[in-house]
Amino acid sequence: SSGINAEYGGSFLTEIVREARNRPVNPVKNSGGSSSDLYDKTREIVLENYKPSTSVTVERMRFRACTPSITDTHETYIEKLRRKAQHCKFNEGYSEEDAITDQFMDKCLCTI
C-alpha cells in the first residue's frame, strides 16, 4: 500500500499527486515520458487507496424504493429484494426476512 496520509496538511488528492510524482514510471506501459505518465500513476494510486463505503441508510432507502417490474414474477421480485437486503444490516428485532415480507406485502399484495 502507498503512504497516503490525508492528515499531512493537504487534501487526499494533493497527497496522491505528490506520491504519483515520486513513483517511477512503468516502462512497459509508458515509453518516452509522455504527459499521461502523471495521470497513469495518479490513477493507479487512487485505485489502490479508494475504498468505497456503503451507507446503510442509502441501502435501506434503495430497498424500500424497490418495486416489482411488469415482467417480475413473485419469485424474481423476492430474489431482487434479497439481493438489496444484504446491504441493509437489519438486526435480530427486524430481520432481513421480516423486511422482505413487509416490502413484498406493501408493493405486491396492496395492488390486488
Q: Please answer whether residues 77 and 104 qualify as being in contact, where contact means their C-beta atoms are separated by less than 8 angstroms.
A: yes
Side chain identity at residue 52, one-letter code: P
- CA 85 to chain centroid, in Å, comes to 15
Range with the poorest average pLDDT among 3-17, 46-60, 74-88: 3-17
Q: Please answer whether residues 87 and 52 qualify as being in contact, where contact means their C-beta atoms are separated by less than 8 angstroms.
A: no
Q: Give the span between the Cα atoms of 35 and 54, in whole angstroms.
A: 35
Tell me the HSE value of 105 on the side-chain side, using a 13 A CA sphere: 6
Q: Please answer whether residues 42 and 16 qualify as being in contact, where contact means their C-beta atoms are separated by less than 8 angstroms.
A: yes
**Is pLDDT of 7 > 50?**
no
pLDDT digits (tens, 9 = 90+) for 11-68: 666 776 677 677 665 554 544 555 577 778 777 877 777 777 778 999 999 999 999 9
**Whole-number pLDDT of residue 78:** 95
Whose cell is 503512504? That residue is 3
**Is pLDDT of 9 > 60?**
no
